[in-house]
Amino acid sequence: MLRVLTILSVEGRGSATIHDVTISEISPQPIPTVSDTLKDLIAQQTKLEKALARNNKALKALEHYLESVKANVLPPAQLKDLVDSYETTAAGLDDQITKIEAELSETNKAMEEEKKKLAAPNDNPKLRRKASIGVFAAKEGLVKISLIYGAFRSVRYKDTL
């Protein structure tokens, strides 16, 4: 069987006594699946998708209206004004759609980056050790505690029963 031993040397200076040194393992923090940043990005994405749907619907409604107008009913001067008005409104909607799509693309990229950050293992198992040092002092004074070294060593041993 393989066992990991922790070798630790603690030195104290001053009018105090080191009673015990305990090494323990810190349990890993649960990996978060969502962050405040990701929640904000999801809300932004929803908002942009709804704005994109509204603008697309408005553009389709405008096109449908233009198709429904009968050229023989409108005088030529009004037909030109109608087409010019359509062109201006459609161009504005196209610009708005292009802007929203760019923002949506940036938001999606930011969401992917945030998801990668959340999924990335940021926990090193070798750094999950904690040393607790018990010190007793009979009187008030300056005490200096030094951790000289800490090492991890794998040792094979046999269970003897």
* 90-146 pLDDT tens trace: 999 999 999 999 999 999 999 999 988 887 666 676 677 788 888 888 888 888 888
Per-chain mean pLDDT for the chain = 83
At 120 the pLDDT is 65
Check residues 135 and 2 and name the one with the higher pLDDT.
135
C-alpha span between 10 and 148 (Å, rounded): 6
- Helix, strand, coil percentages (3-state) for the chain, rounded to 5, are 50, 25, 25
C-alpha span between 35 and 81 (Å, rounded): 52
CB 70 within 8 A of CB 115: no
pTM of the model: 0.57
Radius of gyration, CA atoms only, the chain: 35
C-alpha span between 61 and 67 (Å, rounded): 10
The alpha helices in the chain, defined as continuous H runs, are: 36-68, 76-119
CB 129 within 8 A of CB 25: yes
Residue with tokens 């090494």: 23
Amino acid (1-letter code) at residue 94: D
